[in-house]
Amino acid sequence: MKYNKSEIMKSAWEMVRKIKCSMSRALKEAWAEAKIKAMKSIKFVDGMEITSPNGFTRILNRWTKYDRDRVYINGGSRKGDGYVELNTGRAHLNGTLVYQEQIAEMILNMDFGA
């Protein structure tokens, strides 16, 4: 995947000025945002693996029944990390970990096609 490094640096400097954080932290956040935005070009495939910007890999499974369309995030724990309701765009996560929120956002940016 190709990333626009100029845009990433501009985004990082904007974070440094606005929220007064370190450049290191701003670059980490800017790269994470760029990786999430890059997911728009990825087509969803049932059973695919996805890796969050901070390195956690999970398996995605789609479930469609009873007028519901969900993508379950599996891996790590026995009960999984939760699911994303595609009809509403709402994530139902088993916890409040950063990587779970990142994966949920990545799922919502994916191309599900018809």
Q: Over the stretch 71-85, which tens digit does the pLDDT of each residue have? A: 999 875 567 888 999
55 by Cβ neighbours in 10 Å (0-12 / 13-18 / 19+) ranks as exposed
The pLDDT of residue 23 is: 92
> What is the count of structural domains for the chain?
2
The pLDDT of residue 101 is: 85
Range of the domain at 78: 43-114
Q: Please tell me whether residues 103 and 51 are part of one structural domain.
A: yes
Q: Please tell me whether residues 68 and 22 are part of one structural domain.
A: no
Helix, coil or strand: residue 78: coil
Q: Please tell me whether residues 82 and 27 are part of one structural domain.
A: no
Give me 27's structure tokens: 């670059």
The pLDDT of residue 104 is: 87
Q: Over the stretch 25-82, which tens digit does the pLDDT of each residue have? A: 999 888 888 887 776 677 888 888 888 877 888 899 999 999 999 999 987 556 788 8
Q: Please tell me whether residues 49 and 75 are part of one structural domain.
A: yes
Q: Please tell me whether residues 59 and 83 are part of one structural domain.
A: yes
